[in-house]
Amino acid sequence: MSVLAVLLVLAACALNTAAVHHRTKRVHDPKGYVYHLHSITHPYMTNGMTIPNWDFYGSTVVTDDYIRLTPDRQSRRGSLWNTVPFNPPGDEEYPGFEINLQFRVHGQGTRLFGDGMAVWYTKDRALEGPVFGNQDKFIGMGVFFDTYSNLHQGHSQYISVMFGDGMLSYDHDSDGGASRVAGCPIRFRSTADDDHPVYARIVYQNNLLRVYIDADDDGGWPECFIVRRVYLPRNYYFGLTAATGDLADNHDVISMKVSEPSGMSQAEREEVKRRIEEDMKREAESGGSKVPVDPQYGDEVTKGNAGDNDDSNTLTIAAVIIVLVIVAVAGYFVFVKTKKDTRKFDF
């Protein structure tokens, strides 16, 4: 290899390293406009006493470097709630939002730790309860970072989402059970060998909820799940909660930035569109019912929910008309036959 070739290779390596470094630094920052009223970054307490636009409750402790929702102690509940409902400027069709969360779950336990934490966008705020420290039968969205499988009585870290209508209950013993809409198994808890913050991106846009987790802190954003047909209105509150029970952990929030959602790349859009079409085909094959085992991908990218509903309405109307026609025709024949019979009887 000539000296020039070696230099070129070295230069390429240097460029590559620079590119990776740059990428790592940039990717954790939201690309869209950040809503500062709904974000929390340090320094948390600018006046030394309170966090502007946020309240904290229960076991929550604010330090210079992180906000600890629960300490590594049993039976604690802590929360952090935005005091301002999310109402971005714009018309009725609001742009959605993107949550960029930086957090760290860690503790002394190597075999026994729990229970987990949650990110909320709900109608109510600051109501303590059994769902990772928040009330049950909530209205809105809860994204759960569960470190202990109550169902399997063991450690299996899992991120999932549930949409509450005020009546649906979170079943703690089955880790959400049937109320779980989608999720992914992913290790996000820090260990002694692997101790760094973890990043979560929760994007709500066009009735599609997309969740990505950078658990390796390397700037990659593997997808956790995509759910379609999600309807989250304005004026709900962002919140963070965590709980410990018999098992404990430190649940630390380092920052949470709420911003305008960053769109998908062309390749991402095409991939999501393809998956939505597959999902719709599966739905059609299963008689139009939802396929519970598969994540529900948004159809808004292809045609929108309204169109989807129109289709089913059209089908319902067509079915009603067909039934009415059958009833009318059958009625006519019965009438004619009865008349004939009557005539017969008359004879």
Binding footprint of Ca ion on the chain (CB under 5 A): 146, 148, 150, 175
192 contact partners, CB below 8 Å, separation of at least 6: 110
- What are the residues whose beta carbons fall under 8 Å from the beta carbon of 252, sequence distance 6 or more? 66, 67, 68, 69, 103, 104, 105, 106
SS3 category, 88: coil
Based on CB atoms, which residue is closest to Ca ion, 97 or 144? Answer: 144
Nearer to Ca ion, 146 or 279 (CB): 146
Cβ nearer to Ca ion, comparing 146 with 300: 146
Q: Return the HEC string of 305-320.
A: HHHHHHHHHHHHHHHH
d(CA 34, CA 43): 17
Between 98 and 146, whose beta carbon lies closer to Ca ion?
146
Question: Would you say 98 or 175 has its CB closer to Ca ion?
Answer: 175
Q: How does DSSP classify residue 288?
A: T
Paired strand residues for 242: 78, 117
Least distance (Å) between residue 173 CB and Ca ion: 9
DSSP 8-state symbol, 261: P
Q: What is the nearest approach in angstroms of Ca ion to the Cβ of residue 148? A: 5
3-state SS string for 35-47: CHHHCECCCCCCC
The minimum distance between CB 210 and Ca ion, in angstroms, equals: 23
Interacting residues of 70 by C-beta distance below 8 A, sequence separation 6+: 58, 59, 60, 76, 77, 78, 133, 242, 243, 244, 248, 249, 250, 251
Q: Which of 303, 103, 278, 280 is nearest to 202 (CA)?
A: 103
In Å, how far from its chain's centre is CA 137? 17
Question: Cα separation of 237 and 87, whole Å?
Answer: 10
Contact 242, 106 (CB under 8 A): no
Nearer to Ca ion, 117 or 230 (CB): 117
Query: In the complex with Ca ion, which residue's Cβ is closer, 175 or 252?
Result: 175
Minimum separation from the CB atom of position 199 to Ca ion (A):
22
> CB of residue 320 vs Ca ion: minimum separation in angstroms?
45
Question: Minimal distance in Å, beta carbon 190 to Ca ion?
Answer: 18
- Nearer Cβ to Ca ion, position 83 or 150? 150
Task: Quote the least distance from Cβ 107 to Ca ion, whole Å.
Answer: 15
- Rounded to the nearest whole angstrom, what is the least distance from the CB of residue 296 to Ca ion in the complex? 22
